[in-house]
């Protein structure tokens, strides 16, 4: 199998970042405290900042549409849910995204090698090196990392803002153990490449990026610019057996297990007997029946230069 993660990223060309809309999720665990720090870091790197605190997902999209012609980029400070809130506006306008990871999991930042240090993250934006990445969607709702139903959707419903604020990453573990304790397999139908299969599963997840869930890997060779979606289904009869897969999930090796169905493609359909909630990048956005599709190379993001890009730049100087 071809290792997509080893391919060179698709470059979108340098962008001189002189002005930015700064979107901060003040309701996130560290959002309020990070607001001034993020703005100061961007200003220190010569970027003029227009600060906005959006209280709803709809406000984020509307703001990006409104300001897209007046600034060079959208700088988003927050976690994966906040990045997801900006996805629709980015898809519609084509304005580049600058990521300032201040959330709990920060899986999109991890996928793009953007460090949690705010000064270094701001320096990446100011340097102007960009990549174009894919975007997934489920029933028309976009996602960067993963959209899923089953265990992870139940986890998203129970992992309240208060739990995130109080416990951070530990909150994920406590809530996950509670969800696992009562989990039962459900019936689903998956359609891919003209074929349909009926299954009993604990979770169906469709990944666009590489990382999700605080550092788990979607598939061993998954990449956010490989023009493919990666589906897996956890077809265990007892939820406790998932504990045996902890290491496999961390390294993207779960697809080798007999109880895990893994499919690669650019479109999937999932149906269930009763409507089930679907979480995208940690936010409940829709329900089954669900159609998962891919928008290849749909979003431009600021990212570090790859070693090969730096070597080429030195040769040109």
pLDDT digits (tens, 9 = 90+) for 110-125: 999 999 999 999 999 9
- The distance from CA 33 to its chain's CA centroid, rounded to whole angstroms, is 23
What are the extents of the domains in the chain?
A: 4-133+299-316, 141-297
- Residue 117, C-beta contacts closer than 8 angstroms, at least 6 positions apart: none
Q: Which fold is adopted by the domain 141-297?
A: Tumour Suppressor Smad4 (2.60.200)
Pairwise CA distance, residues 6 & 77, whole Å:
28
Pairwise CA distance, residues 85 & 164, whole Å:
18
Contact 264, 227 (CB under 8 A): no
DSSP 305: P
Calculate the CA dihedral of residues 235, 236, 241, 247 and round it to 10 degrees: -10
Q: Is the dihedral of CA 234, 237, 239, 244 positive or negative?
A: negative
Give the CATH superfamily of 4-133+299-316: Probable inorganic polyphosphate/atp-NAD kinase; domain 1 (3.40.50.10330)
Q: What is the pLDDT of residue 225?
A: 97
3-state secondary structure of 50: strand
Q: What is the pLDDT of residue 312?
A: 40
On the 0-12 / 13-18 / 19+ scale of CB atoms within 10 A, 313 is: exposed
Pairwise CA distance, residues 245 & 299, whole Å:
32
Which residues of the chain carry a pLDDT beneath 50? 1-6, 308-317
């Amino acid at each position: 199998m071809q290792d997509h993660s080893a391919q060179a990223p698709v470059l979108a060309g340098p962008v001189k970042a002189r002005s930015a809309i700064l979107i901060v999720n003040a309701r996130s665990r560290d959002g309020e405290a990070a607001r001034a720090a993020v703005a100061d870091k961007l200003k220190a790197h010569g970027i003029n900042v227009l600060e906005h605190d959006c209280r709803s997902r709809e406000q984020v999209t509307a703001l990006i549409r409104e300001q897209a012609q007046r600034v060079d980029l959208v700088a988003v400070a927050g976690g994966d849910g906040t990045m997801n809130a900006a996805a629709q506006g980015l898809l519609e306008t084509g304005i580049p995204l600058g990521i300032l990871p201040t959330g709990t999991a920060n899986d999109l930042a991890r996928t793009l090698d953007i460090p949690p240090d705010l000064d270094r993250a701001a320096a990446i934006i100011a340097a102007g090196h960009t990549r174009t990445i894919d975007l997934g969607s489920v029933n028309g709702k976009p996602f960067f990392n993963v959209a899923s139903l089953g265990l992870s959707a139940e986890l998203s419903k129970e992992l309240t803002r208060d739990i995130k604020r109080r416990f951070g990453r530990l909150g994920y573990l406590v809530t996950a153990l509670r969800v696992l304790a009562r989990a039962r397999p459900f019936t689903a139908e998956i359609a891919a490449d003209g074929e349909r299969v009926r299954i009993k599963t604990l979770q169906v997840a469709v990944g666009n990026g590489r990382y999700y869930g605080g550092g788990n890997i979607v598939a061993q060779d998954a990449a956010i610019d490989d023009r493919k979606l990666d589906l897996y289904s956890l077809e265990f009869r007892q939820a406790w057996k998932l504990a045996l897969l902890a290491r496999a999930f961390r390294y993207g090796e779960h697809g080798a297990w007999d109880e895990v169905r893994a499919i690669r493609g650019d479109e999937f359909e999932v149906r269930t007997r009763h409507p089930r909630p679907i979480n995208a990048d940690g936010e409940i956005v829709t329900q089954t029946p669900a159609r998962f599709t891919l928008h290849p190379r749909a979003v431009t993001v600021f990212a570090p230069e790859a070693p090969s890009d730096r070597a080429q730049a030195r040769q040109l100087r």
